[in-house]
Amino acid sequence: MSALDLPLIVEVDELAGLLGSEGLLLVDLCQAPTYKQYHIPGAVHIEYGQIIAARPPVHGLVPECADLEQLFGAIGISNETHVVAYDDEGGGKAARLLWTLEIMGHQRMSMLNGGLYAWANDGHQLDAGVVEAIPATFVGHYSARPIAETDYILQHLQDDDVVLIDARSRDEYIGRQVMASRGGHIPGAKHWDWQEIMDPLNNQRFKGRGELEQALAERGITPSKQVITYCQTNHRSSLTYIALKSLGYTQVKSYPGSWSDWGNRDDTPVE
């Protein structure tokens, strides 16, 4: 299998045999001190804050296209590069990078299942120091398809063919933990904590396909529906987005800003 044939979710052993392949770029989204001490050989590093924007109190927005083009080019992503992203938290940051790449029209991308934990605990080589990126030219082709904005959600709250997934904790969902001017959730949203996607006994890899599909079926979430994922800032819900895509869901969007937007407005209903 060549680098350009990698699936959306790539396994550790699969990636290990492809290190150094032409056209393959590993992007590390761990904390900088972690990266400098331990990273997959050849991986370049970016901070999570470089792929998000904010207009307080709203966070987790999509940066300007020109800023993303500059960032991606600077770390060596061209329009032909196959990006494999990973982090050390189960995939939320890596998934947000993939979602952002999709917005910019890039399709050649994968997330490492289990990220740095799975790589290290399976005994694969780790390097220290900093990998100097080889700059490339990245030209964005913006697509709003992966995005669900506030107005879109408001227009579809009564639509039976549209379902929302709230990826936050149970306390946030029911309004016990309030992280905006209002607590609660978007009316009708199904709760599916992002941590329920990961298996802590298997180095934070995704749970098995059957287990994930059962969790979705129990919530009435099927591939025939338009699915919208959100959390507090579309960090956790980016993982939900990528999980759904890996299961064959084609009608998936994520809500930039998420509850930091919805919960801080005065024109949005709350349950």
Domain edges within the chain = 3-121, 150-262
Check pLDDT > 90 for residue 160.
yes
Q: Is the pLDDT of residue 87 over 80?
A: yes
**Which CATH number among 3.30.420.40, 3.90.1150.10, 3.40.250.10, 3.30.470.30 corresponds to the domain 3-121?**
3.40.250.10
Task: Give mean pLDDT, residues 199-206.
Answer: 97
Please state, for a pLDDT cut of 70, what percent of the chain lies above it.
99
Q: Where are the alpha helices (DSSP H) in the chain?
A: 12-16, 32-37, 65-74, 92-103, 115-121, 150-155, 170-174, 209-218, 236-246, 258-262
Q: What is the DSSP pairing of strand 162-166 with strand 190-191? A: parallel
Instruction: Say if 3-121 and 150-262 have the same CATH topology.
Output: yes
CA neighbor of 240 nearest in space, from 264, 224, 258: 258
> Using alpha carbons only, how large is the chain's radius of gyration in Å?
18
Q: What is the CATH number of domain 150-262?
A: 3.40.250.10
Nearest to 243 by CA among 201, 209, 268: 209
Position 2 pLDDT exceeds 50: no
To the nearest whole percent, how much of the chain has pLDDT over 90? 98
Catalytic residue among 231, 239, 242, 243: 231
pLDDT of residue 1: 38
| Residue 73 scores a pLDDT above 70 | yes
Mean pLDDT of the residues in the chain? 97
Average pLDDT on 58-75 reads: 98
Asked if the model's pLDDT at residue 112 lies above 60, the reply is yes
**Is residue 231 among the annotated active site residues?**
yes
CA dist., res. 101 & res. 142, Å (int): 9
